[in-house]
């Protein structure tokens, strides 16, 4: 049995922190894992910036409420879910992703969670598991699934390479050049066709 595992930010929705950096007028928050590969360090730095500006969960959620999925993402997911089970795997947090999942028709999302104080201050975060994408794909394989995976970024490579079929989607020129063995697509039509092909449909 096949199951499709998809990255979220960059693949189905815009990068949440970049959207919040723009909405809040705090350009430092555009820093991503490309600038700071240590995710813990990056997140703690982000929480420091939020505290400094007196911003909490409410303000971030207000920005996220205005973000829409990428054009065509909902239709892509809707069609994919008619013929494949789908799990979205993301390094984001439930509290950020929920409004976007509503706009995507409530697909199943495996992500992380924020620790939030009563006054709304984000005091910390809890990662679900180490190397969440690769670990999740391996756990799904251990219960009889053949996984198909797609994502755009460095942290997606593990699950893409460990899967029965794996595809880059709207990735960077650098990642595509470093991984000529991975099919790389730019449109949802191409990605849907590749997933069907991998499932022998």
Q: 15 a known binding residue?
A: yes
Query: Smallest distance from the beta carbon of 108 to a copy of itself, in angstroms?
Result: 4
Sign of CA dihedral 113, 114, 116, 120: negative
Using the CB atoms, write b or e for 147-163: b if 16+ within 10 Å: bbbbbbbebbbbbbebb
| CA dist., res. 80 & res. 4, Å (int) | 9
Asked whether position 87 contacts a copy of itself by CB under 8 A, the answer is: yes
Give the nearer residue to a copy of itself in terms of CB position, either 24 or 141. 141
Candidates 31, 53, 81, 164: give the one binding a copy of itself (CB under 8 A): 81
Asked whether position 74 contacts a copy of itself by CB under 8 A, the answer is: no
Task: Tell me which residue of 170, 183, 196 sits closest to 4, measured CA to CA.
Answer: 196
- The interface region with a copy of itself, picked from 39-47, 67-75, 109-117, 169-177 by CB under 8 A, is 109-117
Asked whether position 76 contacts a copy of itself by CB under 8 A, the answer is: no
CA distances in angstroms from 70 to 9, 29, 66, 73, listed in the order given: 9, 21, 13, 5
Q: 152 a known binding residue?
A: yes
3-class DSSP state of 192 = helix
Candidates 95, 112, 150, 171: give the one binding a copy of itself (CB under 8 A): 112
Q: Is 9 a catalytic residue?
A: yes
| CA dist., res. 8 & res. 101, Å (int) | 10
| CA dist., res. 11 & res. 191, Å (int) | 11
Candidates 12, 140, 165, 168: give the one binding a copy of itself (CB under 8 A): 140
Asked whether position 66 contacts a copy of itself by CB under 8 A, the answer is: no
| CA dist., res. 27 & res. 1, Å (int) | 44
| Residues sharing a CB contact under 8 Å with residue 161, sequence separation 6 or more, in sequence order | 182
Give the nearer residue to a copy of itself in terms of CB position, either 11 or 80. 80
Positions at the binding site for substrate: 15, 46, 90-91, 133, 155
| Active site residue ranges | 7, 9
Q: Which residues bind a copy of itself (CB under 8 A)?
A: 1, 78, 81-82, 85-87, 94, 98, 102, 105-110, 112-113, 126-129, 132, 135-136, 139-140, 142-145
């Amino acid at each position: 049995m096949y199951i499709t595992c998809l990255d979220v930010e960059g693949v189905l929705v815009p990068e949440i922190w970049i959207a919040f950096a723009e909405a809040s007028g705090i350009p430092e928050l555009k820093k991503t894992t490309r600038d700071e590969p240590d995710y813990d360090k990056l997140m703690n730095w982000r929480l420091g910036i939020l505290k400094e500006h007196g911003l909490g969960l409410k303000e971030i959620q207000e920005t996220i409420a205005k973000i829409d999925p990428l054009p065509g993402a909902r239709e892509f997911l809707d069609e994919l879910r008619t013929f494949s089970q789908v799990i979205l795997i993301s390094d984001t947090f439930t509290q950020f992703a929920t409004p976007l999942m509503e706009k995507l028709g409530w697909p199943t999302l495996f992500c992380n969670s924020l620790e939030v104080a009563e006054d709304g201050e984000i005091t910390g975060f809890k990662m679900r598991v180490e190397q969440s994408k690769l670990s999740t794909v391996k756990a799904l394989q251990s219960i009889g699934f053949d996984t198909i995976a797609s994502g755009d970024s460095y942290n997606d490579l593990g699950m893409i390479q460990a899967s029965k079929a794996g595809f880059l989607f709207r990735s960077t020129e650098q990642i595509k050049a470093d991984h000529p063995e991975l099919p790389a697509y730019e449109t949802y039509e191409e990605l849907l066709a590749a997933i069907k092909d991998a499932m022998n449909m």
